[in-house]
Structure 1
Amino acid sequence: MIYQFEDLHLDVARRELRRNTDLIAVEPQVFDLLLVLIEARDRVVSRDELLEAVWNGRIVSEATIGSRLNAARTAIGDTGAEQRLIRTIPRKGVRFVGKVLEAADRKPERPKSSESSAPMSLRPEQRLPGIAVLPFTNMSGDPEQDYFADGMADEIITALSRSSGLLVVARNSSFTYKGRAVDVRQIGQELGVGYLLEGSVRRSRDRVRITGHLIETAAGAHLWSEKFDGDLADAIALQEQVAERVAAAIEPTLQLAEARHHGREIRPQVDAYDLLLRANALISEFTASSMVAALDCLAQALAIDQAYAPAMASLAYCRAQCDFQGWARQNEADRASAVQLAWRAVEIAPDDAQIAWMAAFAIWAMGRSEGQKARDLFARSLLLNPNSAMALTFAGWIEIMCGNVTDGRSMVARAHVLNPRDPRGWLTFGVQALASLVEEDYPSALRLAEQALALNRRFAVALRVIVVAHVKLGNLDRARGAVTELLAIEPELTVSGFLSRIPMPLESMAQTYAKTLRLAGLPD
């Protein structure tokens, strides 16, 4: 059954709420509450009926019921003041008063052309990981400091909400657990989330320590923890800084956790989202074979759903990384196809920050004449989510390659501050090495490139910096050794082939690479 009211559709079989064609994220209990009220719209539903239908007869506080009602109103565009659709009847209960039409449940037809109806960026099969931020515990012994602890959780909720890859539970739901000792598994079930962030605030004079723990609700396992120390002279600025760092660290942690979880899960039939997660796990391995396997997974995902924007952007990004590494040999038609796919992903999901930076990298790497458009797209990604360490790193990389070293360095530095323990730290070190190379600071370039290679010996960008730096410093034997490693990664690598596929906006850099690679023994 599908219930239609105003421009909304509540699909009972699929447990989806949509406004026109857009999927609205709602928590399971909020969906159940809406369904109960709509099905009983000819009368007032009492508090006891709600408890029985939504909470299985378990007693919960008035605040919990009120928070779910508020969340339901927000989801359908109503408010407690207006009560246009959900009306509270004092001392009696609640009633749904909107006009409802019933439609038989049928599978919607795909639009015949992309111009008739734009596909959604958030699709039902995505099952985005859900996270709830619990109220932070005030460990200061001063009840008046509760405001700071609550404000800390609020800031983190706001920062996490900017990530397009997460469903974040609203404050009015997660804060119903304030002051209560509840098992994380129970909270996960009640809120319908796989992850919780909990923490504490301890104040000592004018200093404060904030701790945070990310927990997987199903197993009760800790995935991430960190502590932050700061000065309370500017409490609001401190809250913002901590929230940004927490959000930047949690996003990639959850992505890896989801990929590993789905990789272990045995499913009779995989869908596009499963394949995307498998591809993400393979991309993180960063080997020639894993990247080829990732491309295959993404192609399968798009065969299932041709309008799946995350898979489009990931496939284009993966092809661009393969181009930089010399893996999965591609011709001009392949590159043009990747660029077209990247732009299509942005067209489908214009407000998805991750899709924007992935597409931007692919367009810059393989679009040849579209470098400025790629930079503009990076700017949009950072406008949507300024806390994405990956977006900052890739945007900084491109600015550096275009000669804007100061701006590029500041972006990469911010990425490192936001997530200093990022498992992809080899990328930030490699980009910093490129910055030193552009500045002709060869000792620094060598040191930073070695740091990148210590984390990932297969990173060709860092190996090429090693070659250039050693030649410039007169260490030809070491440069030749690095070329040997490059040829192990890409046996058919040549100077001309490298320069033809890697964008080099600075002519001086192109000449430097050509000269030093030849001197180190790389074939023309």
Structure 2
Amino acid sequence: MNHMPRDMPEIAPGTFIVGDLYVDVGQQRVTRAGSDIALPNLSFQLLVALVRAAPNVLSNESLMTQVWPGLVVSPETVNKRVNLLREALGDDSREPRYITGVRSRGYRLIASVSPATEGAPLPNLPTPIPEGFPRAAELPVPTIPIDAHPPELPTSRSRLGRWAALSVLTAGLLIAATIGVRWAARHQVEGAIPAPVAPATTPAAIGAPSRTVAVLPFDSISADPADAYLALGLPEMILNRLSRVSGLSVIARNSSFALATKSIDSREIGRRLNSGYLVGGSVQREADRLRVAVQLVDSAAGTLIWSAHFDRGLHDIFSIEDEIADQLAGALSVRLGELEPKPPPGARSANLEAYLAFLRGRTLLGRFTVAESEAAVPYFERAIALDPNFATAYASLYDARMQAADQRREDLRLARKRYGHLVDRALELDPKLGAAYFARAMWGDEPHDASAISVNPLIVARELDFRQGAALDPSNGRGLGAYAEFLYSILGRPEEGRSVLKHALWVDPMSPSARFTDAEFSLDDSGAKASEQKTLQVLELDPNFVPALQRYGKFRWLIDGELAEAIQLLEHGIALDPNNSLLLHTAMAVYLDLSDAKAARAVVAGMPQSARARGLLSMHEGDWRRAGLSAYDEEGWTSDSDYCEIWQAEALRDYALKTGELNRAIAFIKSKYYFADAPAEHLDVCNHGAAVYLSQLLAASGQPQQALALRRAAASWNDANEAKYLGGSRRLRAGVLLLDGKPDAALTELAESFRSGSYVYWWYTLNFDPVWLPLHNDSRFQAIEADVRRYIDAQRSELEALRRNGLVPRRGLPAAER
């Protein structure tokens, strides 16, 4: 099963009027009252399939074939996609205007459908309330781009478009940067064409589009394609300079360089990038000469504010950049009031080749994979070799090294010792380098136990670094997203975390990373289903964003019980990032739940031995001793998320009960699960299950009252949060009921837990969990086990179908049999 088809079906062109909608199949566009409705690729294809079948019913099977050709998907996938389409159209399934379901058959359109003839009037309804950020990457829509050298200012009212599909370093629209009108009146520049502008009467608030600028990649019009790097390097320099201007918000490079702008106009670009002003242009190199055309555009009005051109020697590229940034600040001052101070040069290299090598590394770093983090390293190293005083390159090299180590699940304390001198050198060269403070904060040292509280000196130091980074580099979407996570998860200040994330999403609106963080926050705010849905939307924005592939695969496994589909998602991530330890470990766990131990071992065979893999594989084999010793191994507790793993607390409990080493286990669990000396007061989504196991150890050690109180607190937390977190809530409740001496109720709850879709480590519950061992001969328990095994067999059959279709690799078999 898959939500990200590799090959999209081709759709025959045509235009239709569907109720109050205008559907243009050729342009892949849907409008209502002249305003575009944002639809992801799959939603658009689903709508077209329903339109072409209207008014007839289209079965689920037909929809699967037309929308997901060549893939194995479930009816639930179709249902989810229909719900997404309804949401985008503003349709209510209870009182539908467009789409209705036909029980056990499929879906059909109930809105009137007719071909749109040329020149026919479009549905003319009141303009809807503007929507918020779209959920996913969209197809570009053809509109009239602004010319690089317009003889007249555009005046036509542009239509709202859809989000463009995220791509790496797309070519820029010819609408770009520079010179302020008032500044130009005093210092005329080569080729400058000022346009009269009335200054704003009331300055807008920071973060509003009217005080936000996006610098787009320039067009390369050089004869030699190898010169295209100049069209990326020059606007990057301008962006970095402008980001230091007080009173101005600058959209992060990850978003402004990623938006496909060729077929959309300035209004739509501004809407998608939250920007009132756009900077763009073109670059042409001829031998050692450099010709640069630049423009500053008011995106809301669609009008040119100022344009200029430069014809200089290539060696003057940095002085050109300085002039453009200074003049642009002056031009914006006319509109916004004085912007002070003037943009300082910033932490760039005076060596052009070094700077361009750095830019290539930066492009790779934002992908959050081992492979691309490691691929970025040689670019940063080359930049440093060419310019040993290039502070930003040192900071980025540190970031890349640490990110790769983190994704490989290495001990970050050792990595920090190995690479810490890089970030120290960056700050030595430039004490005001925001990127260096962000990098040091993101990978800063902190305790991974109950001492990780806000007054801990290590935590305090990280917060100070984050604050410095945010103050010095306010357009750093990556750093701001990490700061938001730190505030939310580590310091327990969710409102501040949301505020910082809101700013990150503002300056980096097309960043899958920031949206992924938003999905993580929604787990606590709105529950697991909302977080799952937002994670899917991240994948619609970027189907190859590895962290979202891992997380969505985990949701399909933990919450939905779709083990085969989870493996397909995880294996897709592994293909993109084969050394990603988190992906490999998650896939290992899902393979074990699919009763494919050979594949589980094979998927982690190529990575260094880890306590996590060793422990879980040992538990699956019934080796409690090895599993328990693996759970005690400090190598398995080097990441913030390690205490969210399910198996460790079970392994520690089993080992302690069998060896009698109760006090050791009690102290270890209290420390590693952030319980301190008051476990009942520190319960959360990751440790409330461990609290139940801790209560068993307390009871075994002669502390029955403390054990009962803790079990009651954990059960209450579980009941209160079941609707939000789903997953294993019912199975945990079943165990508590059995510990409370209520076997009948416990068995009923156990059966319901599996029926709800929670099959995580089912084999441990049914084979090895000491709580359930006394009921192994109970016929009701045996019936539950039989039902579970039938379900797993069905999931295994789906996995085999995916393998036959080449969608999942065959692991654990000799090469000749794959």
TM-score (norm 2): 0.33
Q: What is the TM-score when the length of structure 1 is the normalising length?
A: 0.48
Q: By percentage of residues, which structure has more strand?
A: 1
